[in-house]
Amino acid sequence: MNKKVQLQDLGNKDYKATWDFQEELFANIVDVKIKNRRDNQEEETPNYFLYVEHPHVYTLGKSGDISNLLLSEKQLEAKGATFYKINRGGDITYHGPGQIVGYPIIDLENFFTDIHKYLRFLEEAIILTLAEYNIIGARSEGETGVWLGVGTPFARKICAMGVRASRWVTMHGFALNVNADLGYFDNIIPCGIKGKAVTSMHVELGKEVDEEEVKRKIVKHFSDLFDAEMIN
């Protein structure tokens, strides 16, 4: 089992270009697995963890409802935003500057074969990171991602998650609002959940947050939880 995970920071990158890159890495891992089974070989499958910041974009998961996007094509254009219907789980979400997006593209057979455990570990990496800033993140029953104020009238989402897995290989991932402009969430019903607000670390702390520091903390917790060796 290969527990090494190659860490790549793609910087600010177009959503579609990043999606294509994810698909390429994903397909390469799946190809190795198919070849191993066909030829009775044991070639190690690689694992990747991509960081990226996207220009303004709305993405709709395969089970999502297009009516949760509250903008027309012209309005999207006016806001300098794009829209994609994609192959992850979940409904609609927003990505943009000031948001840390993480895409682990890993072969879960290198770690454990349990997609629910995988999602819980992703959430836990974010919860532990937020705790370092004295922000109390939690899970909301039946709703993937990380929330604040669960069980109160002030429940608000700080991190969205949506993944795809096939042959135990994952893609897509999480989006943590750090210094994001939350106004862009007003144009959607986030994750298809009405009456729930969104927030960011910046809003909760009342100050700008060092995104590079947050990335390092997430990687540390991810590495600990998955017992992974992160390679730059």
> Is 156 annotated as ligand-binding?
no
Place of tokens 């409802």: 65
Whether residue 159 lies in the annotated active site: no
> Is 93 annotated as ligand-binding?
yes
> Is 172 annotated as ligand-binding?
no
> Is 201 annotated as ligand-binding?
no
> Is 38 annotated as ligand-binding?
no
> Is 155 annotated as ligand-binding?
no
C-alpha separations of 230 from 3, 101, 188, 197, 210 in Å: 9, 17, 35, 34, 21
A 10 A CB-CB count for 193 gives 15
> Is 167 annotated as ligand-binding?
no
Q: Which of 150, 163, 50 is nearest to 117 (CA)?
A: 163
> Is 162 annotated as ligand-binding?
yes
Query: Collapsing DSSP states into helix, strand and coil, what is residue 135?
Result: coil
> Is 173 annotated as ligand-binding?
yes
Q: Which of 161, 181, 157 is nearest to 170 (CA)?
A: 161
Return d(Cα 68, Cα 56) in angstroms, integer: 17
> Is 175 annotated as ligand-binding?
yes
A 10 A CB-CB count for 71 gives 16
The helix or strand, by DSSP H or E, that contains position 82, with its residue range, turns out to be strand 82-85
Place of tokens 């579609």: 16
CA 79 to centroid of chain Cα atoms: 23
Query: Collapsing DSSP states into helix, strand and coil, what is residue 2?
Result: coil
> Is 154 annotated as ligand-binding?
no
Q: Which among 191, 201, 214, 219 is annotated as catalytic?
A: 191
Would you name the residues annotated as active-site residues? 191
Which residues make up each annotated binding site?
Answer: 88-95, 160-162, 173-175
Which residues make up each annotated binding site for substrate?
Answer: 88-95, 160-162, 173-175
